[in-house]
Chain A
Amino acid sequence: MSFTVPAKLEAQLDELTTHYPQKRSASLMFLHALQEHFGYVSPEAVDWTARKLGLQPINVQELVTFYPMFRQQPLGKTQVKVCRTLSCSLAGSDSIRKHFVEKLGLDAHKHGPQTTADGKFTVEFVECLASCGTAPVVMVNDDLVEKCTAADCDRILSKGR
C-alpha cells in the first residue's frame, strides 16, 4: 500500500512549518497530524516527515519512540486512557481499568496499551491527566470522562461496540 498524504493535509502542514524559524520544530505537530489522519505513525510517515523537514529519519523516529502519545501500530477505534496516578488511584482507577480490561477479555496483568482482536478498543493506564479534583478520570479518544463510574465504563463500551 502506497503512502499518500492528502494535498489538503500537506498544505496545512506546510502552513504550520511557517510558525517556526527552524523547520525541525514542526516535527511534533507533523506527527500529531499524521497520527490523527492515519491512526498511527508508520515508518513511511516518519520518512515523509523527515523529507519534508530536511531531517534524517532517525531524528523523527527518536521522537516517536520517546513521546508516549505516538503509536507505531494501529490502535483501536475507541482509545481508552485510564489515569493511573495518585489522586485517581485513591479514587479507584485500578477498578476502572480492571472493569474495561475484563469486559473486553484483555489481560489485566499485562502492561502497556492492549487492543481488542476486533480492533474496536485500546485500553491503557496513563500518567496524570491533570483533572485530579474529579478523579477518577478517563480519556476516551479526545474526551475527558470525569468521576468515572462502572456505569460510565459500560456506556463507553456499548457506544464503541
Chain B
Amino acid sequence: MPQEQRLILKHADQPGYTPDIECYMRHGGYEALRKALATPGRDLPDGKKQTPREVIRDEVLKSGLRGRGGAGFSAGLKWSFVDRRSGKPIYLICNADESEPGTFKDRQILHKDPHQLVEGMIISCWANDVKLAYIYIRGEMPHAARLLNKALDEARAKGFLGKDILGSGTELEIHVHRGAGAYICGEETGLIESLEGKRPYPRIKPPYFPAVLGLYMCPTIVNNVETLCHVRHIVNMGGAEYAKLGTPNNTGTRIISLSGDVKNPGYFEVEVGKVTLGEVIYHENFGGGLKPGRTLKAIIPGGSSSKVLKAGEKFKLRKKGPDGQMVAVETDLLDLPYDFDSLQQAGTMSGSGAVIVMDDTREIVDVLANVSEFYAHESCGQCTPCREGALWMSKALHRMTTGGGRSQDADYLLHIAQNIQGRTICAFGEAAAWPVLSFVKKFKDDFVARGKADEEARAKGIVPASHH
C-alpha cells in the first residue's frame, strides 16, 4: 500500500513537538553534526586519501541526493564544482525563497523544525570549508524568519555556531536575510544579486556559475531548504544506506505539495518513485481523489512552471526488461512514478514537487490566464523576450477571458512562447513559456473554441467585457 515515509517531517507534526533547540535535541538533534565533526579521514582503494571533509562530501555524492528546489541536479556534483583553489572564501546560501506556485513544503520545515535546517547547514558548511552562510528567506514569511533567528541564537549558545564549533577549531556564522516579494530571487544568481543588495537580475552563465563566481564574486553553494535537511540524514545513515531509500537515480524521500481540486490537499513525504502520480491524487493516504461527481482534466506536476499533463495521456517510459535490456513501456499518466526521471520522460518535470490538480469544472483558458499573469508580474524585466513576451501572453489571455478572443489566438500564443524560450539569461523565460506551450498544444480545441465563440458573439453585436 502506498504510504508516507517521513524522514524530514518525521517529528514536525507530532503532538508536543516544538521548534526550540531543547525539543530538537531530545529527538536526536545535532548528533549528526557531532558525527560529522568526528569523521575520520579514509584511504581509498586507489591509494588516495580523503580528508574528513572530503568523506562527508563523498557520502553526499554517493547518496544520490538530487536538489529539491526544482532543477533536480545532483547535490554532490554541485558541491564538487566549487572552486576550492581560488583562495577566496566559499559561501553557502540556503534558498528559502519558496515561491513556485503550488509549493509549500519548505514552509513546513521552517516553521515546525528550523533546527533541522540549521544542523544540515552547519554540516554542509563544515564539509565545504564555509565560514559564512546565509538563509535567504522570502519576505512573506516573517514568523519563520523570527523562528530561524531564534534557532540560530540557540545554536550559538550551545556552541554549534561561532568561532570554535564544539571545540573543532572551525568557525561558522549563519545569518538570516529577508527577501521582499520577488519570485525571481529564487533563481540562484538573482538571489545572489539580491543578497548583494541589488535588484535581483539573474547573471549570465557562463561565466557567472555560482560555484566559481557567486556571492561577491566568490565560490558559492546555493541549496534548497529540503536539500540541506537531507544532508543531516545522509550523515546519520551513510550515503549508501540513504541511497536505498527511493529508487535508483531518484534516491531518498521528498515532500510533495498537493493542491487544487482534490479532497485532501496537503503535503506528503514519500520515497521518491515509490508512489505514482495517480496514487498521490487518488489514494486515501494522500489526496483522496477528486470531489464527488468530478472527473480529471489536467495536472500540473511540478509547480506552475512545469508542462501540464492532460487526463488520459500515455507515455513511453524506458524500463529495464526481464532480460536486462531497456524496453519502452506504455504508461498511463496516472501510473507515472512520481520521480525526477519518469516525469522528465513524460516531457515535463517534477520540479519543486508541487502537484496542482484541475477537474472537469475548470476552464483551461482561465487556468492558463491565471498562470500567465503570475509570470507577467514576476518577470524581472532584464531580457526583452521575457519582459515583453510574458506580458504580451498575459494580455492576450486576459482578453480571451473577457470576451475578446479570436480563433487565431491559440497559434498567436504559441508563436510568442516559442520566441521566449531559449532567448533569455535565466530559466524564467522557459518557466513563462512552458505553461503556454503545453496548455495550448494539449488543449488547443478549448482555445480555438473560446476564440470562435467570442468572434460569433461579437458578430452579433455583443460588446466584450474587455472593451468596457
Binding site for B on A (CB under 8 A): 19-22, 24-29, 31-32, 53, 55, 59, 62-63, 66-70, 81, 84-87, 89-90, 126-135, 139, 142-143
Contact = CB atoms under 8 A, between A and B. Distances in A.
B370 interface: yes
A161 to B, nearest CB: 24
B266 A133 contact: yes
Contact of B107 (A29, A55, A84, A131): A131
Given A130-B98, A130-B140, A28 B104 contact: no
Given A86-B300, A86-B367, 14 more contacts: A21-B216, A28-B178, A66-B200, A70-B180, A85-B370, A87-B259, A90-B259, A127-B101, A128-B100, A130-B103, A130-B107, A132-B257, A132-B259, A133-B267
Given A32-B180, A63-B199, A132-B101, A69 B377 contact: no
B27 interface: no
Interface in B85-102: 89, 98-102
Given A133-B266, A134-B265, A127 B183 contact: yes
Nearest to A137: B104
Contact of B196 (A25, A31, A143): A25
B197 A90 contact: no
A31 B261 CA distance: 39
A39 to B, nearest CB: 16
A22 B181 contact: no
B72 interface: no
B24 interface: no
B259 A89 contact: no
B291 to A, nearest CB: 11
A132 B179 contact: no
B248 interface: no
A131 B102 contact: no
B180 A90 contact: no
B115 interface: no
Contact of B197 (A25, A85, A129, A135): A25
Contacts, number: 141
Interface of B: 89, 98-104, 106-107, 132, 138-143, 173, 175, 177-183, 194-200, 216, 257-261, 265-267, 300, 304, 354, 356, 358, 362, 367, 370-371, 373-374, 377-378, 380
Contacts of A22: 196-197, 216
Contacts of B102: 86-87, 128, 132
A59 B103 CA distance: 32
A47 to B, nearest CB: 16
A87 B367 CA distance: 10
Contacts of B196: 22, 24-25
A84 to B, nearest CB: 7
20 contacts: A19-B177, A24-B196, A27-B197, A29-B178, A32-B139, A66-B182, A68-B182, A85-B101, A86-B356, A86-B367, A86-B371, A87-B101, A90-B260, A127-B183, A127-B374, A127-B378, A128-B374, A132-B101, A134-B265, A143-B143
Contact of A133 (B100, B104, B194): B104
Nearest to A33: B178
Contacts of B266: 133
B259 A133 contact: yes
A138 to B, nearest CB: 12
Contact of A128 (B101, B194, B380): B101
Contacts of A130: 98-99, 103-104, 106-107, 138, 140-141
Contacts of A131: 104, 107
B257 A133 contact: yes
Contact of B374 (A32, A63, A68, A85): A85
What are the 3 closest A-B residue pairs judged by CB atoms, nearest first?
Answer: A67-B180, A132-B259, A68-B181
A69 B181 contact: yes
Nearest to B369: A89
Given A130-B104, A130-B140, A132-B265, A90 B199 contact: no
Which of B104, B178, B216, B374 has the most C-beta atoms of chain A within 10 angstroms of its own C-beta?
B104
B197 A142 contact: no
A89 B265 CA distance: 15
A60 to B, nearest CB: 9
Given A69-B140, A90-B358, A128-B374, A25 B195 contact: yes
B383 to A, nearest CB: 15
B178 A66 contact: no
**B267, B358, B377, B380: residue with the most chain A Cβ atoms closer than 10 Å:** B377
Contacts of B199: 62-63, 66
Contact of A135 (B99, B265, B300): B265
A114 B102 CA distance: 26
B373 A84 contact: yes
Nearest to B105: A130
Nearest to A24: B197
Given A28-B179, A63-B199, A67-B180, A132 B370 contact: no
Contacts of B356: 86-87, 90, 132
Contacts of A143: 143
Contacts of A19: 173, 175, 177
Contacts of A26: 197
A128 B99 contact: yes
Nearest to A143: B143
B182 A129 contact: no
B139 A86 contact: no
Contacts of A139: 140
Nearest to B354: A132
Nearest to B195: A25
A31 B194 CA distance: 13
B182 A90 contact: no
Contacts of B99: 127-128, 130
Nearest to A109: B468
